[in-house]
């Protein structure tokens, strides 16, 4: 390799590093700093006081915070697993079947993942609308009126409506990733299985899933952090965290405290907690899936 072109490297890297410092690293440290102060929208900087861990202490006796933490955990327990499950099934069916219109289904299943989450939220709000929503209408057509709910207005259902929208919009995305990986599995493996008389379901469980383990691990981490981040937008648009906080999630509570109640310091404490949790969880699940290789 040629001598290191120092100037060239400097020109290529320094502006990027500068921008990263300005718009990522500095705000990040500022966020950490703010989380130790009593900053409000009108009292930031010199007007605010350093209060140590008070915000974090308050957080652990704040029932609204716990509620949103609980909701986030519920979503993280359910959404990634179901999303990936559906994605895998779609991917498997689409790669194994010989249907001529395969590409058509793929196009349709993927479509929700490219549209704005705001639209997803609005569209699903109308699906769950108590009087005009498709869901209640379908239940009525099936004579299942007793199953009808005011979906977004009841604490028991609101969070799961958000979960449904999350799964619906992300399933196609991971499906595409799986399709690519399954295409990467050599045909012979499946053909050998055919010779052994394996049925579709067996192939799915004994060939596809084991061979995709690593990809599933990665997508699981992606879906985990996606759930934390995307649930903010959906819950903000669909329910604004309601009813009575039943569908509030961590980042949404952070937004409420920060922008609505104007408690910048407290909001940043919540944000930093969430970020730390997301990183730890991701590293943990990555390690777990790696080990099995």
Residues 119 to 138 in contact with other proteins, rule: CB under 8 A: 119, 121-124, 126-132, 134, 136-137
3-state secondary structure of 91: helix
3-state secondary structure of 37: strand
Residue with Cβ nearer other proteins (63 or 187): 63
Residue 16 near other proteins by CB under 8 A: yes
* Contact between 37 and 50 (Cβ < 8 Å): yes
Residue 151 near other proteins by CB under 8 A: yes
Minimum CB distance to other proteins, residue 56 (Å): 13
Residue 74 near other proteins by CB under 8 A: no
**Four-CA torsion 175, 179, 184, 190, nearest 10 degrees:** 110
Minimum CB distance to other proteins, residue 78 (Å): 18
CA distance 146 to 133: 16
Q: Which of residues 158-197 bind other proteins (CB under 8 A)?
A: 168, 172-173, 176-177, 179-181
Minimum CB distance to other proteins, residue 210 (Å): 19
Residue with Cβ nearer other proteins (157 or 207): 157
Residue 147 near other proteins by CB under 8 A: no
Minimum CB distance to other proteins, residue 12 (Å): 4
Residue 43 near other proteins by CB under 8 A: yes
* Contact between 38 and 49 (Cβ < 8 Å): yes
Minimum CB distance to other proteins, residue 213 (Å): 15
Residue with Cβ nearer other proteins (153 or 160): 153
- Signed CA dihedral, 226, 232, 233, 239: sign only: positive
**Four-CA torsion 200, 201, 207, 208, nearest 10 degrees:** 90
Which pair of structure tokens corresponds to residue 293?
């290789």
Residue with Cβ nearer other proteins (108 or 189): 108
Site string for other proteins, 190-229 (x = CB under 8 A): ----------x-----------------x---x--xx--x
CA distance 268 to 1: 47
- Which residue of 73, 192, 261, 288 would you call a contact of other proteins, by CB under 8 A? 261
Please report, for residues 29, 234, 245, 267, the alpha-carbon distance to residue 262 in angstroms, rounded to integers and kept in the order given. 20, 22, 18, 9
Contacts (Cβ under 8 Å, ≥6 apart) of 102? 94
Minimum CB distance to other proteins, residue 291 (Å): 20
């Amino acid at each position: 390799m040629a001598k290191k072109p120092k100037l060239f490297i400097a020109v290529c890297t320094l502006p990027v590093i500068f921008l990263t410092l300005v718009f990522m690293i500095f705000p990040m440290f500022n966020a950490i700093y703010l989380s130790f102060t009593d900053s409000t929208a009108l009292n930031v900087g010199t007007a605010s006081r350093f209060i140590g861990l008070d915000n974090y202490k308050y957080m652990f006796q704040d029932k609204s915070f716990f509620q949103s933490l609980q909701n986030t955990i519920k979503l993280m327990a359910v959404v990634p697993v179901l999303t990936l499950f559906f994605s895998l099934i779609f991917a498997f069916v689409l790669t194994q079947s010989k249907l001529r219109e395969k590409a058509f289904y793929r196009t349709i299943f993927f479509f929700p993942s490219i549209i704005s989450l705001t639209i997803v939220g609005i569209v699903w709000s109308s699906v769950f609308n108590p009087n005009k929503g498709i869901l209640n209408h379908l239940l009525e057509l099936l004579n299942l009126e007793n199953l009808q709910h005011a979906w977004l207005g009841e604490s028991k259902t609101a969070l799961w409506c958000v979960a449904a929208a999350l799964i619906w919009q992300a399933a196609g995305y991971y499906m595409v990733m799986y399709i690519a990986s399954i295409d990467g599995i050599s045909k012979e493996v499946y053909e050998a299985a055919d010779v052994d008389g394996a049925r579709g379901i067996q192939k799915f469980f004994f060939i596809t899933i084991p061979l995709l383990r690593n990809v599933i691990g990665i997508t699981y981490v992606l879906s985990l952090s996606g759930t934390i981040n995307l649930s903010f937008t959906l819950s903000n648009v669909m329910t604004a965290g309601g009813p009575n906080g039943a569908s509030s999630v961590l980042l949404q509570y952070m937004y409420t405290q920060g922008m609505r109640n104007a408690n910048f310091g407290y909001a940043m404490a919540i944000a930093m907690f969430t970020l730390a949790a997301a990183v730890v969880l991701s590293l943990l699940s990555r390690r777990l899936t790696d080990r099995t290789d």
